[in-house]
A and B are shown apart, each in its own frame.
Chain A
Amino acid sequence: MDAAYDIAMEHTEPEADSGTSVVAVEDVHKAFAGHKVLDGISLHVARGETVAVLGRSGTGKSVLLRLIIGLETPDSGSICIHGQDIAGLAMDRKGEIRKRMGFLFQHAALYDSLTVAENVAFPLEHHRRDLSRSERGDRVMQLLAEVGMERAVDKMPSDISGGMQKRVGLARALALEPEILLLDEPTAGLDPISSGEIDDLILKLQRERQMASIVVTHDLHSAKAIANSLALLDQGKVVIEGKFEELQDSDIGFVKEFLKQS
């Protein structure tokens, strides 16, 4: 096995009370302009559990994450976060739930007019007004140190590489100490070494913080390294869900083909 992925063996198992899902997606359908993207998808994630959502491009993996954080509304079905359906809520009520979630966008989506430190400070400035300026500064430095970006504090997003942007995006996603972490293609477009570093970072954070995480990726190695279980999507449905070994043992043609090509 590749050394970069040895850390995968250090998976922490989800907590024993995982019967209560932190994230519960039930029979969700979503279509855009008549094109069906998600067709009755269900997914449950418990505290401390990491689920990797795999699949070909355009199978609705990112849409699933956007639905979970409420950036899109499902056509039917329910998405419960801590037992509360996020779909029908007003924006400010959704905001209360989102404070407990962190989202890493595929292209990091850093605010290009703010420095690295200001990007990480952004959620704190809006939601932790109880913190003094220096306390916020210390927290930002701590988060940036956690992702190994403490030396890029004053740089602009355009001045750092894609991998570094993802690290900063991860620090921003962790700023409010979320209980749920959503990662959209955290290693896409990165070289193998940077990918391995991001995977190690995610695993470290999982061990330390025990968050419920959903990682959307089409990088099977990365998924194997960071996730407790894998869900494979095809044509808007979960084809199979389970540990990597279960996917390997599957007789389903699409699963075999996907594993072979990955």
Chain B
Amino acid sequence: MSDRQPIVVAGTHPTLAGQQTISIPTALEFVGRTANGFFEWFGDLGIFSWKVLCAALTPPYEWRELVRQLDEVGSMSLPLVAAAGSAIGIVISMEARYSLSRFGAKSMFSTTLVYSVIQVMGPIMTGLIVSGRVGAGIGAELASMKVTEQIDAVEASAINPYRLLAATRILACILMLPLLTLAADACGLLTGWFAQAMVEPLSFHQFVESGFKGSKLNDFLPPTFKTAVYGLIIGLIACFQGMRTRGGAAGVGRAATNSVVLASLFVILADVVLVKFILVFFP
């Protein structure tokens, strides 16, 4: 008899033909492998981050590539971010009008819209949109370069690929995310006001005055600039996934998908942590 003791999968009898069993060692092996993979991924990410940091802080600096990436991350994402921001502004405006009217708090409309867009929706929506567009782009581009030996060719040409390819992209994401968030916020507020103004008279001046009444800079700056952290996450994960790719076209596809999924997941997790951080340190 095997030393592997079968354990019965929920609700089945061990003697019934065709029933599925998982031996304990196999289950442990699976858990072990998963945990190992999990820690290995974080370990590799840590080593990758250190290499990028060292490369980014030492000359020569790749200014031209940085400018190219600022354009790629910023200008190219602007239309999508602006469109999404505009849609969010209209949706919040319509929902807020309906909900606030029900509770007799219609006078709070402008404030609700301003705070909802700038503190909550603008930053996270921009983070997720850029995760999708830029994360997939960087992941696929670097993965394709990796499998066709172009990254090796960069290195063989005595150029540090962590400096040229990773540091520039990550820095571009860090710098552009807050600016894209400002653009999304502006579009959201404009369309939100416009949607309200279509229903009942409300001048833009009135809207701004009542929306920002009593607010402090601390109410708006930390939520906007926290997106720099999203930028770091998106850039870092996309570059990491791209530059560690193996396995041809399928590997490129996996790298692009993983970049988007992981970057989005970590952006959402970071949002939870950063909101708490902002509430504690920027009350």
Contact = CB atoms under 8 A, between A and B. Distances in A.
Contact of A105 (B58, B145, B149, B159): B149
B242 to A, nearest CB: 14
Contacts of B51: 91
Contacts of B162: 91
Interface string A119-152: 0001100110000000000000000000000000
Contact of B158 (A66, A106, A111, A127): A127
A95 B160 contact: yes
A92 B149 contact: no
B107 interface: no
A91 B160 contact: yes
B101 interface: no
A123 B152 contact: no
B58 A92 contact: yes
Contact of B152 (A105, A112, A172): A105
Contacts of B157: 98, 122-123, 126, 172, 176
A17 interface: no
Contacts of B29: none
A99 B159 CA distance: 9
Contacts of A204: none
B156 A98 contact: yes
A101 B159 CA distance: 13
A206 to B, nearest CB: 20
Interface in A74-110: 91-92, 94-96, 98-99, 101, 103, 105-107, 109-110
B155 interface: yes
Contacts of B58: 92
A216 to B, nearest CB: 14
A252 interface: no
29 contacts: A71-B152, A91-B51, A91-B155, A91-B160, A92-B58, A96-B158, A98-B157, A103-B153, A105-B153, A107-B149, A109-B149, A109-B150, A109-B152, A109-B153, A110-B150, A110-B153, A111-B145, A111-B150, A111-B153, A112-B150, A123-B157, A123-B159, A126-B60, A126-B157, A126-B158, A126-B159, A172-B157, A176-B157, A176-B158
- Nearest 8 pairs between A and B by C-beta? A98-B158, A109-B149, A95-B158, A109-B153, A103-B156, A99-B158, A123-B157, A105-B149
Given A105-B149, A111-B145, 15 more contacts: A69-B156, A71-B156, A91-B55, A91-B155, A99-B158, A103-B153, A105-B153, A107-B149, A109-B150, A109-B152, A109-B153, A122-B157, A126-B159, A172-B153, A172-B157
